[in-house]
Amino acid sequence: MKTNPGRFFEDYSVGQVIRHAVPRTLSGGERALYHALYPARGAVYSSDEFARVCGLPQSPLDDLIVFHTVFGKTVPDISLNAVANLGYAEGRFLAPVYPGDTLQSQSEVIGLKQNSNGKSGVVYVRTTGVNQRGEAVLEYVRWVMVRKRDMSAPAPETVLPDLAKVVAPADLVVPGGLTFDGYDFELAGEPYRLGDYAVGEVIEHVDGVTVEEAEHMLATRLWQNTAKVHFDATNRADGRRLIYGGHVISLARALSFNGLANAQMIVAINGGAHANPCFAGMTVRAWSEVLDKVETGVPGVGAIRLRLVATSGTGTALRDADGKYAPEVLLDLDYWALMPV
């Protein structure tokens, strides 16, 4: 059989390195589509002129374009037979990506644990996205639950990676040359700087977007993500297409402009959970909670740690009385973004 059946749990071993197909050159076309698919308005990612005032050679591609592109390549090798996408950790954006750059990605298996039912197991991978000069632009750890092909295959030795709960401020990479010295708050859309946010503050981002099938499929294909469940309505018993979790991340991040316009560039993803599935027809809203604020090594450039929650309901409920995610919560993401001090 020449088609790709995907890897099963027993096909992974700790230390294994997988180079993912297919390298991808990104252009202004991907940016235009990103901005048509999500209400993204961050000034650094919208304007060459604004980016230059911030010390960059031109406007980079949105941080999450890079994430989705690198992630998409891993799907045929990592998550084609995944039952669930369990979590993210230690995500760091290491260098901006510009139109014309070509990305490819590879993953190293860093942990394995068979489930007690013997039918599946958890695979931990550290994925790295690399540009055409061999420079790493993004790395992150993801773990997924993967089915076994052969239920009688022996369990591998359990290896659980030691993962940081939060990327340490000292490990955040500020893009070379970045400065907020000439930052124009009026053009950026809001007057608030790092000092205006308080830890514990909650921001409801007001706007909502009702999602269409065509939109999430355009987005998911653009990242060359091949998971059947996103495209094939005959794949689930209920005839619904599951929306790629990254689509919800991008929607929520874009909606968070309204209240966090100056949280310009994501530099780290500390963790994340796709709490409940998202389907077309839902109206997605978002709220954020300020978790931390720090200065970076670059004067004037601070970092704000945010919890970003996407919901198919209204309000800012996160968990039920018994501590489980409320049924309307779609995403709970923990990340660091750069902001003028």
Site for a second copy in 155-174 (CB under 8 A): none
**Which candidate, 138, 174, 140, places its Cα nearest to that of 66?**
138
Told to check if 22 binds a second copy by CB under 8 A, we report yes
Could you tell me the smallest distance in angstroms from the CB atom of residue 175 to a second copy? Answer: 18
Q: Which of 85, 18, 17, 98 is nearest to 51 (CA)?
A: 98
Cβ closer to a second copy: 96 or 111?
A: 96
Choose, by CB under 8 A, the member of 221, 300, 317, 318 that binds a second copy.
221
Interface segment toward a second copy; rule CB under 8 A; list 231-239, 268-276, 298-306, 332-340:
231-239
Contact call for residue 231 and a second copy (CB under 8 A) = yes
Which of residues 217 and 341 has its CB atom nearest to a second copy in the complex? 217
Return the number of the residue (13 or 102) whose C-beta is nearest a second copy. Answer: 102
Cα Rg for the chain, rounded, in angstroms? 20
Q: Residue 26 is encoded by which pair of tokens?
A: 């990104």
Q: Which residues pair with 203 in a beta bridge?
A: 288
CA distance 98 to 63: 10
Binding residues among 244-273 for a second copy as defined by CB under 8 A:
258-261
HEC readout, 237-279? CCCCCCCCHHHHHHHHHHHCHHHHCCCCEEEEEEEEECCCCCC
Q: Which helix (H) or strand (E) holds 220?
A: helix 213-222
From 7, 31, 305, 307, residue interacting with a second copy (rule: CB under 8 A): 31
Q: Which of 39, 87, 161, 277 binds a second copy (CB under 8 A)?
A: 39
Per-residue DSSP letter, 319: B
Q: Which of 8, 12, 54, 59 binds a second copy (CB under 8 A)?
A: 59
Q: Which of 157, 165, 177, 283 binds a second copy (CB under 8 A)?
A: 283
188 near a second copy, judged by CB under 8 A: yes
Q: Least separation, in Å, of the C-beta of 241 and a second copy?
A: 7
Name the minimum Å distance from CB 294 to a second copy: 20
Of 115 and 235, nearer to a second copy (C-beta) is 235
Exposure of 114 in the CB half-sphere (CA atoms within 13 A): 20
The single residue among 116, 150, 170, 214 that binds a second copy, judged by CB under 8 A, is: 214
- Range 216-243 burial, b when 16+ CB lie within 10 A, else e: bbebbebbbbbbeebbeeeeeeeeebbb
Pair of tokens at residue 299: 């004067």
Structure token digits, residue 314: 């209204």
Quick check: 55 binds a second copy (CB under 8 A)? no
The reply to whether 316 sits near a second copy by the rule CB under 8 A is no
Instruction: Give the contacts of 313 (CB within 8 A, at least 6 positions apart).
Output: 285, 326, 328
Q: Closest separation between CB of residue 167 and a second copy, Å?
A: 25
102 binds a second copy (CB under 8 A): yes
Residue of the chain from 12, 50, 67, 180 that contacts a second copy (CB under 8 A): 50
